[in-house]
Amino acid sequence: MDKELLEILACPVDHAPVREEGDRLICQECGRRYPVRGGIPVMLVEEAEQPR
Ligand SMILES: [Zn+2]
């Protein structure tokens, strides 16, 4: 994924930065995992996987 795009993305819950991990973006604060579909990050709480 484009590094500049990654830098402007933030978790919609706590506005913390996210890091890329495989085909997911992981919030560095709450640990929610956001999917990337066709290269497009889906930064939606409803789509996120909650950490357990
Ligand atoms: Zn978060």
pLDDT one-digit tens code per residue, 17-43: 999 999 999 999 999 999 999 989 999
Question: Phi and psi at residue 49, in whole multiples of 5°?
Answer: -90, 130
Give the Cα separation of 32 and 29 in Å (integer). 8
How many whole angstroms from 11 Cα to the centroid of ligand 1?
5
Cα first-last separation, the chain: 26
Residue type, 5: L
CATH of domain 3-47: 2.20.25
- What is the C-alpha separation between 8 and 43, in angstroms, rounded? 12
Name the pLDDT band for 2 (thresholds 50, 70, 90): confident
Flag whether pLDDT at 16 surpasses 80. yes
Would you state the pLDDT for residue 3? 86
Q: Check residue 52 and give its pLDDT.
A: 75
Q: What is the pLDDT of residue 29?
A: 96
The residue behind tokens 């640990």 is 31
Q: How many whole angstroms from 25 Cα to the centroid of ligand 1?
A: 10
12 alpha carbon – ligand 1 mean position (Å): 7
